[in-house]
Structure 1
Amino acid sequence: MPTYHSNQLQLPLKVVSTVHRFSFVDLFAGIGGFRIALEKLGGKCRAYSEIDKEAIKVYQQNFINYLTQDEPSLGDITQVEAFPDNIDLVVGGVPCQPWSVAGQLKGFADPRGKLWFDVVRLIKQSQPKAFIFENVRGLANPKNRDSFEFLLQQFTTIGYQVKWNILNAYDFGLPQNRERVFIVGIRQDIANAEEYEFPSPLNLNPKVLDILDEFKNHQLPQKAKLDPDVIFKNNNIPPSRTRFQKSNELNDFFIFSDLRNGHTTIHSWDILETTAREKEICLTLLKNRRRKKYGKKDGNPLALEHFQEFIPDLCPSELEELVNKNIFRKTDNNKYEFVNSKNMSGINGVYRIILPNCDVVPTLTATGSKNFYATCFLNADNPEDYKKKFLKRIYKQQKYKPFTAQHACKLQGFPEDFVLHSHDKTAQKQFGNAVPVPVVFHVAKHLMKIILNCSDNSNAQRSFVGLRYASPNLLS
């Protein structure tokens, strides 16, 4: 059994170059994810824009001191008339809510969506050599594609060669499944502007245990290789599975939901003491609640007669017993639905428990999540035993812990000495809104080769005084 040395994700401490190779403006600065990466490359921040008061406190605590007293805070971008003169680069994570499902996909109809027009206005006026902007993947989805193409055309019209790509934080050494759209623009009069290429994956293959101190230099269990038919029954592999879920391996996480089913889904009737008959009734509701014949909603309550279509001898008292156990609830029109009727809400405050040998944590969000990590490993050679062992050894013995802001800091690639907000939930929200530092670093590193007209960034690496970091893989 191999020993896993958790060293490829040890992050650099904050460093500031003594030689400034380019200048930049940090828009929608948040807590400074862009800035960390750009300063590592030798950038000098000339101004920053942010309106969230708590984010500004963290930003200033980490970056603003007697050496940066001449660096103005621009405040609300809609009120900014101009940038400082001779800016090389403009960057920012433009608010993403207008293009996400959570933000109801209002696009440019959302006031936050209109902020893109202020970005275009200021880019047109200041004419920096280049820009880098980041947003949710949804900006490039088919539903928003017309708006996205319109936005790209605006940048082209004001004189920029524009390229975009979807990059995942995992591909740059972070154990987080975070896909984001990156837009890079280079002024058309810059030599070889059209030759810019986005960075390729680093192939570091991180694990969640990289961010968990209690698992340093721990032995990874050997995972059983199974026939997909054993896991999925009739080889019916769900289309919703991600690239991190292999068809011949059991999932490395467990989801608590009464609205989904799968070999690592934990239902309320798995946790509570229920009979085989009661489990059958619960699964009947789970499997048929989305049938259009029972209603137009995505999930519909079922009446007694609906249940009896599948279980002819079902008695009303059996449904009432599930109500008493707080698994079902009765609606005003005498139908039955699950008490836990919102998928992401989980059960008993838990939505997902991730095993430490898992490849990724799901995308960090500003709204937070009910994600936990197990404090021990788990293995089995069939789905039934896997779930039983999980319930017995991990869930019932409470061998799991919540992810903290410090974990989120590592998941976004921020330095070890970054000063977090004093309130954990606020800090987690800020990291959920942040940009992954290593992704920005490698996007900008490729960009510097063109706008600074140099063949490589070796000089940037030599320009730091007191540089301390354990691995060159993430930021090199």
Structure 2
Amino acid sequence: MQKIRFVDLFSGIGGIRLAFEQAADSLNIESECVFSSEINSDARLVYEKNFSETPSGDIRLIDKLPEHEFLLAGFPCQSFSHAGKKEGFGDTRGTLFFEITRLIDTYKPQAFIFENVRGLYSHDGGQTLATIKHEIQKRGYSFDAFLLNSANFGLPQNRVRVYLVGILNASPTFELISDVGPKDSHSYNTQQLSLFYPPKKSVTVGDILENNPDEKYDCSPEFVNALKRIFNNDLNRLHGVRLIDYRGGNSIHSWDLGLRGECSPEEIELMNRFILKRRNKQFGKEQDGKLLTQEQIASFFEHPNLGETLNSLVNKKYLKLINNKYKPLSGNFSFEVYKFVDPNKISVTLVASDANRLGVYYNQRVRRLTPQEAARLQGFPDSFMLHANDDKAYYQMGNSVSINVVKAVAQEVIIKTLYSTQERIDKSQFALAQFFK
């Protein structure tokens, strides 16, 4: 059996490694990880549990890489993410990409696979990606960037990530097709975005749910009763609902639930209008965050006791009064669940900050998704050992990769690399034969 060696940088809990090993195995190729690196102690612990080796620590302390054919790296994404400050290479975490190029210079592999957040693709008007491309190409590699949605690879999650791939001294044509999918998870239609993952039965959240998880994942009786009151005991209406205080649409707000005190119908109506109307340009140019005076509020909410209603909402801490202007007090992190996924659809993107607050109504229970279900959304097999602490397991899954996607990418890169390597060998042998004629 043919054997390939790889290096696993910024390895996290080992998602990219797991997917790469699965890809090699599917191609009947033996693989060996010759070096791994991860600075986070909790991730290193899980990596060791699953791969029986502890990654090296800080990449900045690594002098050189051992001989290998493939370089894998899920380098830090915070500085490129919409959830971060988007400072890119002006951020210390962003410059860690240059640690990768420094190590590439110590031993050039035949190919690389990098994974990052979608924001990298367009960050700084494309200049960040252009810088990465330049650094890679000047070292003799091809460079392709693909935006791939996990839902197109047999996973019920609307998750878009960018995958950067390249092969040394080659100009491959990959079969992968970029597609970010829809804006929301309720209108998704799966497509064929890789020859290795042809269209098949649509996978939904219901396919990854546990039938009878521990009761500790159930939402509190108080929270459930408030939801029942809002939906007249029809909890099937929870599917796809968000719990958020600064958006309208299919959302539930803290004032609907009465989390800080029961609200009258008038108070609820005022708050619902407030979060919609405060975006109007007539109240300022800011897209969001506008503070409104009582007179401005009266323009869209006529009520004989408007002042008393506003005071009541301030006292209950649904509104805040700043220089005689009113502002909603966001209570998003006080919700037990921030989004209820629909068992018949796909999930929203699993993210580290609130992977522990995705909810579902299933088998007559209102509960949070379990860490095991979060792992399944990412394509991890049930045999993969998660962190013993639930909160850390949720966080790690939100930070990890979608196994199915990386596997598909790795399959193509391995095949194209081996083909280009063999092609170079054949050309070299032909040239030698011609020389000695």
TM-score range normalised by the length of the shorter chain: 0.7 to 0.9
TM-score by length of 2: 0.77
Instruction: Confirm whether residue 89 of structure 1 aligns to residue 70 of structure 2.
Output: yes
Task: Note the 1:105-116 alignment, pairs <5 A.
Answer: 105-116=86-97
Q: 351, 354, 378: which is aligned to 1:365?
A: 351
Is the alpha carbon distance of 1:442 and 1:211 closer, same or farther for their aligned partners in structure 2, counting shifts above 3 Å?
same
Shift of the alpha carbon at 1:327?
6.1
Residue pair 1:269, 1:327 contacting (<8 A) in 2 also: no
Within 5 Å, give how 1:129-144 maps onto structure 2: 129-141=110-122, 143-144=124-125
Provide the residue aligned with 2:44 in structure 1: 56
CA contact (8 A) 1:137 1:181 kept: yes
SS at match of 1:23: strand
Distance 2:302 2:14 in 1: 61
**Which segments of 5 or more consecutive residues in structure 1 lack a partner in the other structure?**
1-18, 66-71, 216-249, 378-398, 455-476
* Number of the residue aligned with 1:401: 367
User: Identity over the aligned pairs, expressed in percent?
Assistant: 37
Give deviations 1:61-94, integer Å, cap 9, x for gaps. 11026xxxxxx84422222221112x11000101
By how many angstroms is 1:149 displaced? 0.8
For 2:85, give the aligned amino acid: Q
Q: How does 1:213-292 map to 2 (within 5 A)?
A: 213-214=210-211, 252-262=239-249, 264-272=250-258, 274-292=263-281
- Aligned partner of 2:311 in structure 1 is 320
Segments of structure 2 that go 5 or more residues without pairing to the other structure are 25-29, 177-192, 213-236, 421-437
Does 2:137 match 1:156?
yes
Whether the 8 Å contact between 1:29 and 1:49 is mirrored in structure 2 is yes
AA matched with 1:150: T
> After superposition, what is the alpha-carbon deviation per residue over 1:93-136, rounded to whole angstroms, capped at 9, x for unaligned?
01001101222001001111111111112223311110000000
CA shift, 1:448, in A, is 1.7
Distance 1:312 1:60, change over 3 A: closer
Q: Report Cα offsets for 1:332-374 as digits up to 9, x if no partner.
A: 42333323x26xx2663331112321x2222122222422111
> Structure 1 residue 45 and structure 2 residue 33: aligned?
yes
Correspondence for 2:199: 203
Structure 2: how far apart are the matches of 1:261 and 1:314?
25
Deviations 1:242-291 (A, max 9, x none): xxxxxxxx9940011232111x2223443346554334322331222223
Aligned residue pair count: 366
Match of 1:299 in 2: 289
* Partner residue in 1 for 2:323: 333
- The equivalent of 2:27 in structure 1 is none
Distance change in 2, residues 1:36/1:338 (3 Å): same
Q: Distance in 1 between matches of 2:31 and 2:125?
A: 33
**Aligned in 2, Cα 1:139/1:330: closer, same or farther, shift over 3 Å?**
closer
Give the alignment partner of residue 337 of structure 2, picking from 340, 343, 350: 350
CA distance in 2, matches of 1:351, 1:265: 10
Give 3-state SS (helix, strand or coil) of 1:141's partner.
helix
TM superposition shift of 1:434 = 1.1
* CA 1:291–1:411: 2 relative to 1, 3 Å: same
What is the Cα deviation at residue 144 of structure 1? 4.6
User: CA–CA distance in 1 between the matches of 2:255 and 2:378?
Assistant: 36
Q: Secondary structure at the match of 2:367?
A: strand
Structure 2: distance between partners of 1:84 and 1:437? 25
- Please give the per-residue CA displacement for 1:399-426, whole angstroms capped at 9, x wherever unaligned: 3111221111111111211111110111
Residue 408 of structure 1 aligns with an amino acid whose one-letter code is A
CA displacement at 1:313 relative to structure 2? 4.3
Structure 2 vs 1, CA of residues 155 and 327 (structure 1 numbering), >3 Å: closer, same or farther? same
Change (3 A) 1:95 1:159: same
Given the alignment, which residue of 8, 11, 15 partners 1:33?
15
CA shift in 2, pair 1:348/1:63, >3 Å: closer
How far has the Cα of 1:296 moved from its partner? 6.0
Tell me the alpha carbon deviations over residues 1-25 of structure 1, each in whole angstroms, 9 at most, x when there is no partner: xxxxxxxxxxxxxxxxxx5621100
Once the two structures are TM-superposed, the CA of residue 306 in structure 1 deviates from its matched residue by 1.6
2:5 match: secondary structure: strand
Aligned to 2:426: none
Calculate the TM-score normalised by the size of structure 1: 0.71
Does the 8 Å contact 1:107/1:144 carry over to 2? no
Structure-1 separation of matches of 2:108 and 2:419: 18
The one of 53, 60, 84 equivalent to 1:78 is: 60
Distance 1:371 1:313 in 2: 38
One-letter amino acid of the counterpart of residue 318, structure 1: T
Change (3 A) 1:186 1:292: same
- Tell me the amino acid that sits aligned with residue 374 of structure 1: Y
Alpha-carbon distance between aligned partners in 1 of 2:238 and 2:308, rounded to the nearest angstrom:
37
1:255·1:353 contact (CA, 8 Å) conserved in 2?
yes
- In structure 2, how many angstroms separate the alpha carbons of the residues matched to 1:305 and 1:99? 41
Question: Does the 8 Å contact 2:244/2:338 carry over to 1?
Answer: yes
**Contact 2:39 2:56 (C-alpha < 8 Å) held by counterparts:** no
CA gap 1:103/1:258 in 2 versus in 1, 3 angstroms: closer
Structure 1 residue aligned with 2:157: 176
Is residue 2:218 matched to residue 1:212? no
Q: Report the RMSD for the aligned CA atoms in angstroms.
A: 2.5
- Compare the two structures and name the one with the higher helix fraction: 2
CA contact (8 A) 2:353 2:395 kept: yes
